[in-house]
């Protein structure tokens, strides 16, 4: 990527909308604006950071393409720290594309996905964790995800990681002095004191972030909830009832659901993927049903939570018990469906024990008990830890950050240990440098180019 190129893209979603924005960034931004924009009253050069009314024209024909508001933003007070232009046009997809075309003809190049944000990162305006937060905020499916992304965008994670790095760099400086003045080493390097500093200021915050990852993971990653059970117990009906729409086909015949059916749902503010599966039975009618059952069994094991559905109008069968036992330990909720048909059969005590709790009584038909079920799902995936969304950790690292934190942890433990045991300063320095390197991948200081490519290429165009 050459920074001397001026890039342009449509930065709003493609589709009819009141407003659509074409964004331009780079050294030729001003020139591009002067080529395609005709202000109604103002004169060039346009004042920085002000919206100006006018028309976009095709300079080759003089034809008017749209009436727009144009904003010139002079470097460095911009997103990318380069000169930028925003053209606020009408949001029709064809109209916007025509605006983009004349902008490109005037000397801009089409931006790659995420290129504006990548330039903001390269210019040091945001760090890598903030760049990731831009994508996460845009793609947030729940309020919790949006909140976490907003904190990260504001520099929450960056500040913590930078504070850790600062401590390590400071200690490294002391070590270097000790290496230069070996006769004063004992005085410069107070081992126990530095060990405590690394523990309190780096290792503890790393552990805290890893804990928050574990407990907060459910708020940022979609969880897979499998709906399993014997044929005809009402799994598909339950999926539809939770979604409040007819997603899966429901029929009185067993073996109706053969393929897995997935749907996204917000349950108590958490984003989840519900997976309706083929009924599990000891015999399958044909090869398709058999394959459906094989997949259901795999799902049962790999899901974050299994809703084991039983038909409350019948006594529990051995098959119900086998399905429950196949569910991951501590990650199953027993659901007794069809309670509208009567008080329901008792669930045997050993099954309640296996499930780790009493069944939730519901009726997919009438909607009875569904709120209890939602609450139960929420409690099960959060381990009952967060009674309310206000208890969500303020900051939750993503998988990439977690990997870096995990990797830094043994280095840091060795530094602490080394200070206590009076390890040679040269060796301590090596360990600290390794930890700095790993922590630096979170903020992007030491992130390899190919990882950066992967992160930014997952952005949408115009971001
Ligand atoms: N009375 C009653 N019938 C239900 C309930 N849930 C499902 N059914 C019926 O049970 C049959 C099987 O339902 P379905 O959702 O296809 O079961 P699946 O095979 O487990 O997916 C259908 O005839 C549904 O109408 C319920 O809560 N109450
Ligand atoms: Mg079904």
Predicted confidence (pLDDT) per residue in 201-259, tens digit? 999 999 999 999 988 888 887 789 999 999 999 999 999 999 998 888 888 888 888 78
Residue 190 CA to residue 287 CA, distance in Å, equals 72
Per-residue pLDDT of the chain (463 residues; tens, 9 = 90+): 445 899 999 999 989 999 999 999 999 999 999 999 999 999 999 999 999 999 999 999 999 999 999 999 999 999 999 999 999 999 999 999 999 999 999 999 999 999 999 999 999 999 999 999 999 999 998 888 999 999 999 999 999 999 999 999 999 999 999 999 888 887 888 899 999 999 999 999 999 999 999 888 888 877 899 999 999 999 999 999 999 988 888 888 888 887 889 999 989 888 899 999 988 877 777 788 788 888 888 888 889 899 999 999 999 989 999 999 988 888 899 999 999 998 778 889 999 988 888 999 999 999 999 999 999 998 888 876 555 555 678 899 999 999 999 999 999 999 999 999 999 999 999 999 999 999 999 999 999 999 999 899 888 888 8
pLDDT recorded at residue 1: 45
pLDDT recorded at residue 220: 81
Three-state DSSP class for residue 25: strand
pLDDT recorded at residue 93: 92
Residue 239 CA to residue 261 CA, distance in Å, equals 9
Distance 231 CA to ligand 1 centre (A): 9
pLDDT recorded at residue 399: 92
Residue 39 is given by DSSP the state E
Residue 251 CA to residue 254 CA, distance in Å, equals 8
Residues in the chain, overall count: 463
- Please provide the DSSP assignment of 28-66 as one string: THHHHHHHHEEESS--SSPPBTEEEEEEEEETTTTEEEE
Distance 405 CA to ligand 2 centre (A): 43
pLDDT recorded at residue 418: 96
* H-helix or E-strand spanning residue 408: helix 399-421
Backbone angles phi, psi at 12, to 5 degrees: -110, 160
Write out the residues surrounding ion ligand 2, Cβ under 5 A: 235-236, 256-257
pLDDT recorded at residue 105: 97
Structure tokens at 108: 């801009």
CB 179 within 8 A of CB 425: yes
- Give the side-chain half-sphere CA count within 13 A for 312: 18
Cβ of residue 255 lying under 6 Å from some atom of ligand 1? no
CB 331 within 8 A of CB 302: no
pTM of the model: 0.80
Cβ of residue 425 lying under 6 Å from some atom of ligand 1? no
CB 299 within 8 A of CB 272: no
Residue nearest to atom 2 of ligand 1 (CA): 338
Three-state DSSP class for residue 305: strand
Q: How large is the greatest C-alpha to C-alpha distance in the chain, in angstroms? A: 87
Sheet hosting strand 20-25, strand order edge to edge: 37-39, 50-58, 63-73, 84-89, 20-25, 7-10, 109-110
* Residues sharing a CB contact under 8 Å with residue 196, sequence separation 6 or more, in sequence order: none
Distance 226 CA to ligand 2 centre (A): 12
Residue nearest to atom 14 of ligand 1 (CA): 234
């Amino acid at each position: 990527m050459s920074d001397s190129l001026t890039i342009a893209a449509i930065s709003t979603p493609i589709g009819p909308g009141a407003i659509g924005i074409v964004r331009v960034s780079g050294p030729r931004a001003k020139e591009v604006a002067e080529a395609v924009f005709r202000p109604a009253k103002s004169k060039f050069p346009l004042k920085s950071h002000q919206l100006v009314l006018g028309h976009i024209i095709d300079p080759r024909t003089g034809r008017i393409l749209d009436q727009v508001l144009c904003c010139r933003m002079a470097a460095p007070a911009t997103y990318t720290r380069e000169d930028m232009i925003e053209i606020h046009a009408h949001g029709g997809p064809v109209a916007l594309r025509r605006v983009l075309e004349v902008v490109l003809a005037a000397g801009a190049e089409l931006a790659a996905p995420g290129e504006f944000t990548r330039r903001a990162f390269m210019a040091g305006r945001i760090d890598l964790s903030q760049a990731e937060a831009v994508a996460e905020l845009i793609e947030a499916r729940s309020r919790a995800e949006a909140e976490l992304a907003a904190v990260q965008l504001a520099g929450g994670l960056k500040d913590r990681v930078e504070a850790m790095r600062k401590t390590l760099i400071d200690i490294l400086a002391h070590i270097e002095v000790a290496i230069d003045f070996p006769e004063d080493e004992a005085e410069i390097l107070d081992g126990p004191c530095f060990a405590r500093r690394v523990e309190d200021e780096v290792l503890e915050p790393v552990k805290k972030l890893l804990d928050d990852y574990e407990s907060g993971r459910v708020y940022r990653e979609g969880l897979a909830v499998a709906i399993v059970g014997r044929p005809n117990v009402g799994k598909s009906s339950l999926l539809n009832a939770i979604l409040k729409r007819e997603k899966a086909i429901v029929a009185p015949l067993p073996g109706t659901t053969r393929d897995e059916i997935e749907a996204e749902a917000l349950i108590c503010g958490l984003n989840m993927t519900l997976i309706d599966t083929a009924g599990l039975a000891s015999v399958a009618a044909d090869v398709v049903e058999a394959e459906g059952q094989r997949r259901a069994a795999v799902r049962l094991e790999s899901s974050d939570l299994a809703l084991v559905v039983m038909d409350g109008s019948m006594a529990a069968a051995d098959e119900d018990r086998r399905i429950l036992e196949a569910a991951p330990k501590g990650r199953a909720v027993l659901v007794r469906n069809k309670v509208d048909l009567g008080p329901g059969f008792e669930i045997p005590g050993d099954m309640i024990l296996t499930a780790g709790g009493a069944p939730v009584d519901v009726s997919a038909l009438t909607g009875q008990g569904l709120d209890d079920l939602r609450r139960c799902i929420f409690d099960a995936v959060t381990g009952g830890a967060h009674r309310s969304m206000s208890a969500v950790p303020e900051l939750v690292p993503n998988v990439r950050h977690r990997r870096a934190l995990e990797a830094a942890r043994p280095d840091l433990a060795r530094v602490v240990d080394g200070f206590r045991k009076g390890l040679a300063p040269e060796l301590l320095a090596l360990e600290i440098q390794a930890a700095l390197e790993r922590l630096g991948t979170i903020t992007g200081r030491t992130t390899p180019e190919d990882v950066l490519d992967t992160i930014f290429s997952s952005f949408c165009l115009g971001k």
